Structure 1
Amino acid sequence: MSFKGSGTTAVQPIDRYEGGVGWIAYPDEEMERASHAVAVHNEESDTGEPDVWVFDPVDGEGVDDLLAELGTVAGVVLGLDRHKRDAAAVARRHDVAVHIPEWMTGVQADLDAPVEQFGGRLADTGFRTLQVRNSSIPPWQEAAFFDGETLIVPEAVGTASFFRVEGERLGVHPMLRVVPPRTVLGGLDPDRILVGHGEGIHENAAEALREALSGSRRSAPRLYAKTVRSLLGV
């Protein structure tokens, strides 16, 4: 099993719910890079179909079929400065822009697609923009998105194995274990959590988030030990 997949994809749908779907383009990779699409009803739509917003996509054969099930693609969203993934390719194919937070720097020049910036809300999607992290040491700019029901977090928390220790359904990123984003995410009460690495949380999501944030520092030594064992192959 490779840490990051490449080449031919085998897109695996995940996180299906009314108005949303996700996928993992390389199901066998350890990173479990997950992408998501959310349908938003727009009364001004020319097609009469919902607008589909695509978050941090990894492209692959069959992705467009998943998107078409929801409606017409209206935009692609990047929530992490280093998560450019295949956002530009998906945006170009659907003739839409890549949307990035207005405070996110050093990203636009690397995107071979039209770019639009947004502030506290993501267009007319109903999603608020939450600044999870904006730091130079380590370099990390990340936005999460919350519409009162669905919380989308690109990197700060995840369900992939390298995020979690035994007993955790959701884990804080290894680099943020001692400084978890409690101020930004701690007061939220989502029905579901969609993450950039791994399948989402659709049951007792708010509880899983509270446990991940509150236990982050306490379980950090176990996660780091697990990581070292994995690297050593023991």
Structure 2
Amino acid sequence: MRGQFSDERSFGFGWIADEPAFLQRASYALVDAGGVWLVDPVDVDGLDERVRAAGEPAGVLQLIDRHGRDGTTLARRYGVPIHQALAGGAPEAPFEFFRSVDLPLWREAALWWPERRTLVVGDALGTASYFLAPGERLGVHPLLRMLPPRSLARFEPEHVLCGHGAGVHGVDVATALQEALRSSRRRTPKWLVGLIRNAVGR
């Protein structure tokens, strides 16, 4: 499968799978001390070369149960373990894991990397068009807009990497995060109108 590499940073990179295009499925490689940790990865052309250039594969991290994606395949290919964040994550990694969504049919973990001020989420937040109300830079998942993941509010990240859409970066990211969580309910009508307009305009 083809994909577009994105979110190029000194501590890693991301990529978005071309198919299905609407979903904008994003994955990430986080690099620490020469080790490369893959988060919710989808296998795309050129990935092996990019991973090897960044360092030595250290492990695969799965943040949400339905984000199995190609994690098992890649873990076997690289000869590394696959870690379920909801089951405790990877103790040897420099990341903190915590439960961000805890609903009967939806359990999701997030990753916090204090050294890099980086927050990585699975489905709870996104930048794909169907996540965003007009004017939003970062949006709560459509099915969580009425129950936003407020546990994320305690962080002040400079980088938010999400499972659908490119990441957001910069000194104003913490403000965008707080605004997304605070206004998700209030902006739901605008989000719905925007979604309909986008659908009609296709």
Q: Structure 1-normalised TM-score?
A: 0.80
**In structure 2, what is the Cα distance between the partners aligned to 1:230 and 1:169?**
17
String of CA shifts for 1:88-113, please: whole Å, max 9, x gaps.
Answer: 11111001111003xx4xxxxxxxxx
1:198 aligns with 2:198: no
Q: CA deviation at 1:213?
A: 0.7
Query: Which of these residues, 27, 37, 44, is aligned with residue 35 of structure 1?
Result: 27
1:141 alignment counterpart? 107
String of CA shifts for 1:125-152, please: whole Å, max 9, x gaps.
Answer: 221112011222xx11110000121110
Tell me the SS of whatever aligns to 2:57: strand
Q: How does 1:142-161 map to 2 (within 5 A)?
A: 142-148=108-114, 149-161=117-129
Letter in 2 for 1:25: A
Once the two structures are aligned, what percentage of the paired residues are identical?
41
Tell me the SS of whatever aligns to 2:22: coil
The structure with the largest alpha-carbon Rg is: 1
Letter in 2 for 1:143: A
2:153 alignment counterpart? 186
2:52 alignment counterpart? 68
1:100 aligns with 2:84: yes
Q: CA deviation at 1:70?
A: 1.4
Query: Which of these residues, 112, 121, 145, is aligned with residue 177 of structure 1?
Result: 145
Letter in 2 for 1:93: R
Q: How does 1:201-216 map to 2 (within 5 A)?
A: 201-203=168-170, 204-216=172-184
- Conserved? CA contact 2:118–2:159, under 8 Å: yes
Q: CA deviation at 1:228?
A: 4.2
User: Structure 2: 5+ residue runs without aligned partners?
Assistant: none
Q: Which has the higher helix share?
A: 2
Tell me the SS of whatever aligns to 1:30: helix
Q: CA deviation at 1:51?
A: 1.0
- Conserved? CA contact 1:174–1:224, under 8 Å: no
Tell me the SS of whatever aligns to 2:23: coil
CA-based RMSD of the aligned residues comes to 1.7
String of CA shifts for 1:71-96, please: whole Å, max 9, x gaps.
Answer: 01111010011111111111110011
Q: Structure 2-normalised TM-score?
A: 0.92
Letter in 1 for 2:112: F
String of CA shifts for 1:152-205, please: whole Å, max 9, x gaps.
Answer: 0111000000000111000000001011011x1011011101110011011221
1:15 alignment counterpart? 7
Q: CA deviation at 1:27?
A: 6.8
User: Structure 1: 5+ residue runs without aligned partners?
Assistant: 1-8, 42-49, 105-116
- Conserved? CA contact 2:134–2:194, under 8 Å: no
**In structure 2, what is the Cα distance between the partners aligned to 1:28 and 1:96?**
27
